[in-house]
């Protein structure tokens, strides 16, 4: 792709995280391209290109399963007719003013992400001291930190994510600006915060990410009900950290992870508290109260982070199943194994056991019973089988009366 842009007479650079990661010995997961070609000119060169975005106009060029994100060099808005807009807090809500590479560098967030690899001569162009900051492993914002965070409050979350992933230290000037502007996260669209949630907690560094979010007061802005419970319940904190460690292990082992599960972990304590209140107000089972409370807590959480139904519905089912693990006899216990959310609910229960919130004998029972045959399961759940109880008793019936015989 870079060579085609170069051959067509355009400048073409690899930029951002792929250059940074290569410098510190990490394998880049994706590649971003910066060019002086406009999105429309990129699309004219590549039939496999799709233009996206209104806030930032980008070209996505697909190669098999890979998507190369291509951005046109940007410049500061200096004219009244420029395609740029801000909200009342200074957050950029649209920015499509194109410029040169010399102008583009100052539109990027951190110095370590403002390194350009030139395909023409295989050199790295560094305008903002990014090479030095990479060597020192520190995160420094380009320009005035306070102003840059007001432009885009999500940069606070990006700082934490990069610090956790790269083992970088966040520069003091950035930390001070974060403390002054943490409340601006409430102005970020809920859908965008969900995307950031996925990047923060599904990249293999969830535990360290959570520690930094908590340290800088950002977690409270994303999950206020969870933060309130963590302040009061030390055991819930142990459970949450066990879940984060488990998520990191799964990512490193290249196993699947779903946001549904971790969302259930974050909301578990608030859901349990509200479920107890609902049971005191109205007669209902524990499972019913958990499902109702999960619905209410999720609706409240939606004000901060947009949670798609494809995740919230199975999450509610997973949480509502937790009391049923305490039933280890009878058909009700046996039927739990056939529930479509059993596996997720079982993993959730096992994490509670690991954190000391559930008797380990319960966890052992449900682990062992999954390996048993049908006959062994019947015995474990204390069920009588047809073979054990003998022939089914038949109900005796009176013979039908016939004409002339019932006198």
Note the pLDDT tens digit of each residue in 362-372. Answer: 999 999 999 99
CA–CA gap between residue 66 and residue 30 (Å, rounded): 8
Q: Where is pLDDT greater, at 403 or 407?
A: 403
Q: Look at residue 97 in the predicted model and tell me its pLDDT.
A: 83
DSSP letter at 401 equals P
Considering only CA atoms, which of 312, 310, 319, 372 is closest in space to residue 341?
Answer: 319
- Token pair in block for residue 34: 């910066």
Q: pLDDT-based confidence at 63, cuts 50/70/90?
A: confident
Band (399; pLDDT cuts 50, 70, 90): very low
* pLDDT top residue among 147 and 84: 147
User: Mean of the pLDDT values across residues 62-89?
Assistant: 72
What's the confidence (pLDDT) of residue 87?
58
Task: Tell me the average pLDDT across 203-224.
Answer: 97
> Which residue carries 């009176």 as its tokens?
398
Identify the pLDDT of residue 47: 92
pLDDT, residue 387, reads 46
pLDDT at 56: 79
Which pLDDT score, from 0 to 100, does residue 95 have?
60
330 alpha-carbon distance from chain centroid: 38
Residue the block writes with tokens 């460690």: 245
Which of 75-79, 231-235, 331-335, 350-354 bottoms out in mean pLDDT, i.e. has the lowest? 75-79
Mean pLDDT lowest for which of 33-42, 79-88, 165-174? 79-88
Q: What is the largest CA-CA distance in the chain?
A: 116
Residue 396, pLDDT > 60, answer no
Residue 116 has pLDDT above 70, yes or no: yes
Three-class DSSP category at 60 = strand
User: Could you report the per-residue pLDDT of 231-252, keeping only the tens digit for each?
Assistant: 999 999 999 999 999 999 999 9
pLDDT at 341: 96
Record the pTM: 0.85
Average pLDDT of 181-200?
Answer: 95
List, for residues 266-277, the tens digit of each pLDDT value.
Answer: 999 999 999 999
Q: Do residues 385 and 375 make contact, with C-beta atoms less than 8 angstroms apart?
A: yes
Neighbours of 46 (CB within 10 A): 18
Q: Give, in order, the Cα–Cα distances in Å from 229 to each of 226, 232, 240, 271, 272.
A: 5, 5, 11, 10, 11
Q: What is the pLDDT of residue 96?
A: 65
State whether the Cα torsion 307-313-253-220 is positive or negative: positive
pLDDT of 286 strictly over 50: yes
Tokens standing for residue 247: 């998520």
Q: What is the CATH number of domain 222-320?
A: 1.10.3090.10
Residue range 250-258: mean pLDDT, rounded:
94
Residues with a catalytic annotation lie at 30, 32, 109
Question: Using 50, 70 and 90 to split pLDDT, how confident is the model at 92?
Answer: low
The reported pLDDT for the residue numbered 245 is: 96
pLDDT at 86: 52
**Number of C-beta neighbours around residue 183 at 10 A:** 11
Q: Which of 9, 28, 11 is nearest to 113 (CA)?
A: 28
Location of structure tokens 């859901």: 271
Cα–Cα nearest to 188, from 164, 143, 152, 224: 152
Which residues does residue 63 pair with via DSSP β-bridges, in sequence order? 66
Domain 1-142 coded CATH 3.40.140.10 = no
- The answer to whether residue 312 scores a pLDDT higher than 60 is yes
Among the listed residues 357, 135, 376, the one whose alpha carbon sits nearest the alpha carbon of residue 365: 376
- Given a cut of 50, is residue 378 above it in pLDDT? yes
d(CA 212, CA 167): 11
Q: Please provide the average confidence, as pLDDT, over all residues in the chain.
A: 90
Residue 89 pLDDT: 61
Structure token digits, residue 374: 């049908």
Give the pLDDT score at 260.
96
Is pLDDT of 401 > 80?
Answer: no
Q: Residue 76: pLDDT band by 50, 70, 90 thresholds?
A: confident
Instruction: Delimit the domains of the chain by residue range.
Output: 1-142, 222-320, 327-385
R_g (Cα) of the chain, nearest Å: 29
Distance CA 109, CA 143 (A): 9
CA distance 214 to 266: 13
């Amino acid at each position: 792709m870079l060579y085609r842009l170069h051959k067509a007479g355009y400048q073409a650079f690899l930029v951002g995280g792929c250059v940074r990661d290569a410098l510190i010995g990490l394998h880049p997961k994706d590649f971003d391209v910066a060019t002086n070609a406009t999105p429309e000119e990129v699309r004219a060169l590549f039939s496999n290109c799709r233009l996206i975005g209104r806030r930032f106009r980008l070209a996505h060029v697909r190669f098999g399963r890979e998507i190369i994100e291509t951005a046109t060099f940007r410049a500061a808005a200096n004219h009244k007719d420029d395609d740029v807009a801000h909200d009342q807090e200074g957050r950029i809500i649209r920015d499509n003013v194109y410029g040169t590479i010399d102008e583009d560098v100052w539109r990027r967030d951190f110095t370590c992400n403002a390194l350009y690899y030139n395909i023409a001569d295989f050199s790295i162009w560094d305008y903002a001291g990014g090479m030095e900051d990479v060597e020192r492993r520190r995160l420094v914002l380009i320009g005035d930190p306070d102003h840059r965070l007001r432009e885009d409050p999500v940069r606070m979350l990006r700082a934490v994510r990069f610090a956790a992933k790269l083992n970088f230290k966040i520069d003091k000037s950035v930390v001070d600006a974060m403390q002054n502007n943490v409340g601006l996260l409430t102005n970020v669209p809920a859908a965008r915060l969900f995307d950031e949630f996925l990047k923060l907690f599904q990249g293999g560094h969830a535990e360290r990410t959570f520690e930094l979010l908590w340290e800088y007061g950002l977690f409270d802005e994303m999950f206020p009900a969870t933060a309130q419970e963590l302040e009061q319940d030390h055991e819930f904190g142990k459970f949450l950290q066990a879940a984060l460690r488990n998520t990191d292990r799964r990512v490193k082992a290249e196993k699947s992870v779903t946001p549904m599960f971790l969302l259930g972990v974050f909301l578990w304590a608030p859901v349990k508290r509200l479920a107890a209140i609902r049971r005191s107000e109205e007669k209902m089972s524990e499972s019913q109260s958990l499902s109702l409370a999960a619905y209410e807590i999720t609706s409240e959480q939606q004000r901060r982070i947009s949670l798609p139904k494809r995740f919230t519905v199975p999450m509610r089912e997973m949480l509502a199943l937790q009391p049923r693990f305490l039933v280890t006899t009878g058909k009700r216990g046996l039927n739990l194994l056939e529930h479509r959310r059993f596996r997720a609910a079982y993993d959730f229960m096992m994490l509670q056991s690991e954190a000391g919130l559930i008797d380990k004998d319960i966890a052992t029972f449900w682990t062992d019973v999954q390996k048993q045959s049908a006959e062994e399961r019947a015995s474990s759940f204390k069920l009588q089988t047809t073979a054990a109880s003998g022939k089914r008793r038949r109900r005796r019936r009176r013979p039908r009366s016939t004409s002339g015989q019932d006198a």
